[in-house]
């Protein structure tokens, strides 16, 4: 196929990487430890974990897992916790034991947790005890036989550890009552492993490293099988992309997104290859606390999503931070909106770099070069990666040269490369729907220009069909976001007797005086008639995923929410309130 992007690669960045340079993810960790042993690898709650300490503790945890009955190479072990120092210890321990990591969202309801544990066949789980009561409700109907519980302060030195755990449990009452017979404390597990020799395991590049579950926005979530080679390839690709700005052993990466999400996970692993310090943010929803944390560091890089960047820009004190050391801020997970990108550049003096990927691609497939101004595209394919625009018959569409009907050049974005998943776990039917002739069909709609830059129009399933015309929510959202009185917005299609579907806009106001009429008038000045919102609804907040992506289905379905959704919401809200309260407590107890 034609690869016009190769002629426009940034200077100093290779067009190909070697996905077989390392044998496994633990192999890369071990090589990083040799080079950066005494340097801090992770920071959280005022405490650092060096590369050497991570190596020792993860070895201890691996040895412990190997000693548990029924656990052998290839067994699945789940982690259900927010960003804490325990997370990388458990994660690398699982991988070093030759087992498979199953990342679990700690805000899951019992139903969601049960599905993921049953579907993955997880035999063990590491869980923050604040969420153990959720596990208790479903444990008997899952294959889990070993439960390792941890407390928030477990990786902190004494007496800070005792104080944090005591206050959260006894004073703040942030640990709901739970009882799981036979549960093992995380620190006890480490102690047992330290007294045991680790058994060598022949882990190959083709072995599964992660069962990474998709968000399940269109139904039951599926586990993407990401091999060691998949993850290593994306780490190598990301490393190449940032190689012109990174300096070994000198960078500080802020990790506000959860490690259980593939974007933050792979980015963090990539930064470790450079010997960077990763600052784990436990609850990025507490934006004032995040701004305070940022003020403690001469940080150089951060990953995030559009809603996080927009939230920071609207948080007092953010514009007063020192951005002199900042090298790159990478946005993914959802489109970076032009008003947010422009204001970010004005406030920080640095550009937002938009990338593109998905869980099934480990995740990054395409990105803009570091230091390039926002241009509305997702950039060019990563090294050793191909992107192609395909029509409904899977025929490749030509680039759009800027002339003629763009719709004839618009189709589904497909990805091929060493980072593309092996398939969905125990789900050949769903795998066959998205994999064809070595290509991953992303479900995203877009086009490529003559220089090889790709632009996403929208998600295939989110497209609105108005009287036979394709309407893409992201275009309308971008227009509405330029209205000064708007803080956030989301656009969806709703049934309409005359046009089939009609456009509905849900807006969070920055200016309480903003009216529906003003929103529609603004849209009329920038959009053709069939794209105009027929309905404008104001809300106090938009429903979002844990990483901040707007849940369009909830905007569409909110008036007719099911009983199951209504019953699940109080538990989700309680978990989110718990995380916010925990974060506030930690800031008081553990100053950086």
Dihedral over alpha carbons 446, 341, 362, 283 (to 10 degrees): -140
From residue 99, give the alpha-carbon distance in Å to each of 71, 79, 116, 204: 8, 12, 17, 12
Lowest mean pLDDT among 274-283, 487-496, 582-591: 582-591
Q: What is the mean pLDDT of residues 363-388?
A: 96
Q: Which helix or strand (DSSP H or E) is residue 240 part of?
A: helix 228-241
The rounded percent of the chain whose pLDDT value lies above 70 is 93
* Cβ–Cβ under 8 Å, residues 376 and 389: no
Q: Give the phi and the psi of residue 293 in degrees, each rounded to 5.
A: -65, -45
Return the SS3 of 22: coil
Query: What's the CA gap between 436 and 403, in Å, rounded?
Result: 30
Question: What does the H/E/C string look like for 387-428?
Answer: EEEECCCCCECCCECCCCCHHHHCEEEEEECCCCCCEECCCH
- The candidate with the shortest Cα–Cα distance to 579, out of 126, 112, 107, is 107
Q: Give the phi and the psi of residue 265 in degrees, each rounded to 5.
A: -60, -55
- The candidate with the shortest Cα–Cα distance to 24, out of 79, 101, 83, 78, is 101
Q: What is the mean pLDDT of residues 553-577?
A: 56
Task: Tell me: pLDDT of 437 over 80.
Answer: yes
Task: Tell me: pLDDT of 533 over 60.
Answer: yes
Query: What's the CA gap between 549 and 544, in Å, rounded?
Result: 5
Lowest mean pLDDT among 112-121, 296-305, 551-560: 551-560
Model pLDDT, residue 158: 94
Model pLDDT, residue 48: 98
Query: What's the CA gap between 93 and 182, in Å, rounded?
Result: 21
Model pLDDT, residue 569: 53
Model pLDDT, residue 571: 57
Query: What's the CA gap between 218 and 552, in Å, rounded?
Result: 11
CATH of the domain spanning 47-203+563-592: 3.40.50.980
Query: What's the CA gap between 429 and 434, in Å, rounded?
Result: 9
* Cβ–Cβ under 8 Å, residues 279 and 306: no
Model pLDDT, residue 216: 45
Question: Which residues, including other chains, have CB under 8 Å from residue 500's CB and lie 6 or more apart?
Answer: 465, 466, 467, 468
Q: What is the mean pLDDT of residues 58-79?
A: 98
Model pLDDT, residue 217: 37
Return the SS3 of 253: strand
More confident position, 579 or 160: 160
Q: Which helix or strand (DSSP H or E) is residue 432 part of?
A: helix 428-434
More confident position, 42 or 215: 42
Query: What's the CA gap between 292 and 287, in Å, rounded?
Result: 9
Q: Label the pairing between strands 533-538 and 500-509.
A: parallel
CATH of the domain spanning 463-560: 3.30.300.30
Q: What is the mean pLDDT of the chain?
A: 91
pLDDT per residue over 454-467, tens digit each?
A: 999 877 778 788 87
Model pLDDT, residue 262: 93
pLDDT band at 143 (very low <50, low <70, confident <90, very high): very high
Same fold flag, 47-203+563-592 and 463-560: no
Model pLDDT, residue 497: 79
Model pLDDT, residue 572: 57
pLDDT per residue over 291-336, tens digit each?
A: 999 999 999 999 998 889 999 999 999 999 999 999 999 998 778 8
Query: What's the CA gap between 533 and 121, in Å, rounded?
Result: 45
* Axis-axis angle for helices 25-36, 86-96 (nearest 10): 120
pLDDT per residue over 385-419, tens digit each?
A: 999 999 999 999 999 998 888 989 999 999 999 99
CB neighbours (10 Å) of residue 461? Answer: 12
Query: What's the CA gap between 207 and 99, in Å, rounded?
Result: 9
Return the SS3 of 129: helix
More confident position, 372 or 579: 372
End-to-end CA distance of the chain: 52
pTM here?
0.86
* Cβ–Cβ under 8 Å, residues 571 and 540: no
Model pLDDT, residue 101: 98
CB neighbours (10 Å) of residue 103? Answer: 21
Query: What's the CA gap between 27 and 567, in Å, rounded?
Result: 45
Q: Which residues pair with 489 in a beta bridge?
A: 507
Q: Which residues pair with 331 in a beta bridge?
A: 304, 354
Question: Which residues, including other chains, have CB under 8 Å from residue 159's CB and lie 6 or more apart?
Answer: none
Q: Label the pairing between strands 454-459 and 439-448.
A: antiparallel
Task: Tell me: pLDDT of 566 over 50.
Answer: no
Domain limits, the chain: 47-203+563-592, 463-560
Model pLDDT, residue 15: 97
pLDDT per residue over 335-349, tens digit each?
A: 888 999 999 999 999
Return the SS3 of 77: strand
Return the SS3 of 201: coil
- The candidate with the shortest Cα–Cα distance to 59, out of 162, 168, 200, is 200
* Cβ–Cβ under 8 Å, residues 165 and 153: yes
Model pLDDT, residue 546: 74
Q: Label the pairing between strands 223-227 and 208-213.
A: antiparallel
Return the SS3 of 456: strand
* Cβ–Cβ under 8 Å, residues 446 and 410: yes
pLDDT band at 592 (very low <50, low <70, confident <90, very high): very low
Model pLDDT, residue 562: 41
């Amino acid at each position: 196929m034609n690869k016009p992007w190769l002629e426009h690669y940034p200077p100093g960045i290779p067009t190909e990487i070697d996905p077989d340079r390392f044998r496994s993810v633990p192999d890369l960790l071990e090589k990083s430890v040799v080079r950066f042993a005494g340097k801090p690898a992770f920071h959280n709650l005022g405490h650092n974990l060096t590369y050497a300490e991570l190596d020792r503790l993860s070895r201890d945890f691996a040895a412990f897992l190997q000693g548990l009955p029924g656990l052998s190479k290839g067994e699945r072990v789940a982690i259900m916790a927010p960003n804490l120092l325990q997370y990388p210890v458990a994660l690398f321990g699982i991988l070093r034991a030759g087992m498979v990591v199953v990342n679990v969202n700690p805000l899951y309801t019992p139903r969601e947790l049960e599905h993921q544990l049953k579907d993955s066949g997880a035999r063990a789980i590491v869980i923050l005890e604040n969420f153990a009561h959720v596990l208790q409700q479903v444990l008997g109907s899952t294959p889990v036989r070993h439960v390792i519980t941890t407390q928030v302060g477990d990786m902190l030195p004494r007496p800070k550890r005792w104080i944090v755990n005591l206050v959260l449990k006894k004073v703040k009452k942030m640990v709901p009552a739970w009882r799981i017979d036979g549960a093992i404390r995380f620190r006890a597990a480490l102690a047992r492993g330290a007294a045991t020799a680790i058994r060598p395991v022949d882990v190959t590049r083709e072995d599964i490293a992660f069962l990474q579950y998709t968000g399940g926005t269109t139904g039951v979530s599926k586990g993407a099988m990401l091999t060691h080679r998949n993850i290593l390839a994306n780490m190598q690709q990301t490393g190449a992309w940032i190689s012109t700005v990174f300096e070994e052993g000198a960078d500080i990466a802020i990790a506000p997104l959860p490690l259980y999400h593939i974007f933050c996970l792979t980015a963090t692993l990539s930064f470790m290859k450079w010997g960077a310090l990763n600052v784990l943010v436990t609850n990025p929803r507490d934006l004032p606390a995040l701004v305070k944390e940022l003020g403690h560091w001469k940080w150089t890089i951060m990953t995030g999503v559009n809603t996080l960047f927009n939230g920071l820009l609207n948080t007092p004190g953010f514009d007063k931070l020192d951005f002199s050391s900042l090298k790159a801020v990478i946005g993914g997970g959802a489109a970076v909106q032009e008003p947010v990108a422009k204001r970010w550049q004005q406030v920080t003096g640095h550009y937002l770099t938009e990338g593109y990927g998905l869980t099934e691609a480990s995740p990054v497939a395409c990105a803009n070069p570091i230091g390039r101004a926002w241009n509305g595209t997702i950039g060019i394919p990563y090294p050793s990666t191909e992107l192609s625009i395909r029509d409904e018959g899977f025929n490749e569409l030509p680039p759009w040269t800027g002339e003629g009907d763009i719709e004839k050049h618009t189709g589904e974005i497909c990805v091929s490369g060493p980072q593309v998943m092996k398939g969905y776990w125990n789900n050949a039917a769903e795998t066959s729907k998205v994999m064809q002739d070595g290509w991953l069909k992303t479900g995203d709609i877009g086009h490529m220009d003559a220089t090889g830059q790709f632009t996403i129009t929208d998600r295939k399933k989110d497209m609105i069909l108005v009287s036979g015309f394709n309407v893409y929510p992201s275009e309308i959202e971008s227009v509405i976001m330029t209205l000064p009185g708007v803080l956030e917005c989301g656009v969806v299609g709703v049934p309409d007797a005359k046009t089939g579907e009609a456009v509905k806009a849900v807006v969070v106001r920055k200016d309480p005086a903003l009216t529906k009429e003003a929103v529609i008038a603004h849209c009329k000045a920038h959009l053709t008639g069939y794209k105009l919102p027929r309905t404008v609804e104001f809300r106090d907040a938009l429903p979002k995923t844990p990483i901040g992506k707007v849940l369009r289905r909830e905007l569409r379905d909110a008036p007719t929410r099911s009983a199951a959704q209504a019953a699940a919401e109080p538990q989700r809200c309680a978990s989110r309130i718990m995380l916010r309260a925990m974060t506030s407590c930690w800031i008081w107890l553990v100053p950086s």
